[in-house]
Amino acid sequence: MIILTGNDLKTGAVVWWDGVSWSAHVDNAVDVGDQAAEIMAREESSRRVNVPYSIEATKDENGVRPAHIKDRVRALGPTVRPDLTLKPADPDIGEWVI
């Protein structure tokens, strides 16, 4: 699947396109098919997202998994600070990016 990501303009937070808006959670990302360019242009010009780009990802019962490790790190947070990731309760969550 093709999903969209970028950063929030004001806060810089990593966000994912969920079909309506931008979500902090990669699992909410939706397949945009061939609509990527159109959505990104519209959203960036209205400043609802900063420097968006499209990536490949897969989806299964565990959720959405970006194809490249860099985007998996973005989706989670720094693996060396599990307390600052989106899943602070799991000290081994860093393994997910590998």
Work out whether 23 is an interface residue with another protein (CB under 8 A).
Answer: no
Q: Applying CB under 8 A, which of residues 65, 73, 82, 93 lies at the interface with another protein?
A: 73
Residue 14 makes contact with another protein by CB under 8 A: yes
Tell which positions 29-68 bind another protein, by CB under 8 A. 44, 47, 50-51, 67-68
Largest CA distance in the chain: 39
Q: Which is nearer to another protein, 33 or 98 (CB)?
A: 98
**60 backbone φψ class: left, alpha, beta (φ>0; ψ -120 to 50):** beta
